Structure 1
Amino acid sequence: MWALRTRLGWDAVACARGLQATRLRGRLQSCGGQPELIVDVAHNPQAASELALWLDAQPRVPTHAVFSALADKDIAGIGAALGARIAHWHVCAISDAGARGLDAASVAARLRVALPQAAISLHVHAHAALAAARAALPASGRVLAFGSFTLPAQCWTGCRRRSERCDSGSEGTPRRRYNPPPFQSARAPVDARLKQRLIGAAVLLALIVIVVPMFFVGSRAGRQRHDLGQPWLVPGARPEPPLQSKTL
């Protein structure tokens, strides 16, 4: 903030507006739709607890989860943090996870350690899980797609393909895209200062081109005048004897 104001001359209001409009993808990111799709990268119990607090602050609507996590994650702890807030879990495998990946049945088994009575269905991939969750919910419901990073990314890509709005935010309603006004007042001081510097550089260059050669030309002309006044300096010439006058 300090650098933007002092180095670039940006207006403080413009800087604050830009920071307020900044969002991270995959952090309670709404993709709109009916039911609404919320994408989040919560993949440990601590993040799941924050997700639970966010759900508690939203209107109570039927919420289904599209979920998966890697083998080294505390899946039971994640399930315990969310508890009964999730009406149904749509579990899938994470593609391209290598040795850290789990199939849907293994993910479901770890969830049941914390949620033995939970409704859980298995799907082959994230897109199938997302489609099933949306089909099972009313238009007023909510799909929460979360877990290890690959799964939210796949769901976000799927909603982009469907040309739905995918805007970041922290509220439970579809978000409007934020179109910040052009920072004309912020750029103007930068442009004016740059123009002044360019003009100053051009004037300085012109002075160097004009004045510096004059010193060399002046020195050469002075030497020539000196040589003409002192013919004995010419190679091969003898110096004339000094003029002597006598009084008769």
Structure 2
Amino acid sequence: MDIYIQSCGIASDQDFHWRKIEGEGEDKQPKKDPPNFFSTKVKIEKAKEAESQNIIPFTDCFEQKERSVLFLKDYNAKYILLVTELKAIERTKIYGRGVRNFIVIIDTDKDLVQGIYNYVKYNWGAFEKQIDNHIKFNEKNGFIIDKDKFNDLTLKEYLLGLKDKTDFEKQNPSTEIENYKELIAIPQLNWGETNIKKLNKSNNSLIIIAVFLILLVVIVTITLVKKQNQENPSQSQIQKEETCQTMINWHPPCLYLKS
């Protein structure tokens, strides 16, 4: 399981940034962005029939400052969970302005990631509190993930324990959540091929239209030139006709014979 957390520190150069959580301690939590799945094209699963075929960018599936939980399936044979706008109550009190936590979880185990998605969807408040309990300010990193101060669990241990923890079929989604979606990733290759085919088809149509217009211009030009020549004969044609007329009127010179 790959875990990425976005939050902030207190110093001016420790504004919101991502860290990959590889273990306990500063050195095992390097500053690193998650894979760029944000540019992925997706379809919304279990959407209304009219929307089920719509292919949209992943970033169109949620708004800024919106409490969201999104489950992305089949991204390079992996499954991704994104949870946004989790409140950091204790650190907000210390910092004096709003501090929030964002989390990305990536794994090849669909049941694991979907289990965490379901837990968050139906237990937003409890999840938000536990994530907050795992994070504290850190002078070097800005923030650091530590063992949960209530039950001494690492973040990974806590997340692994959520897989089968929710009997979500008997509940309604948490009222705190503003947006939740299950998404299916559209492979970039297929997306590119589809657009290339559309582009080529469009280009072919443009070429045919251009050739037709050129031929039309040529035909019209030739027709106009012929018509103009008939109405206004050229100087060369006039000279030719005058020459012919002169030859017709020419008489041989008189011969004077001496007797």
TM-score by length of 1: 0.33
- The structure in which a higher percent of residues are helix is 1
- The structure in which a higher percent of residues are strand is 2
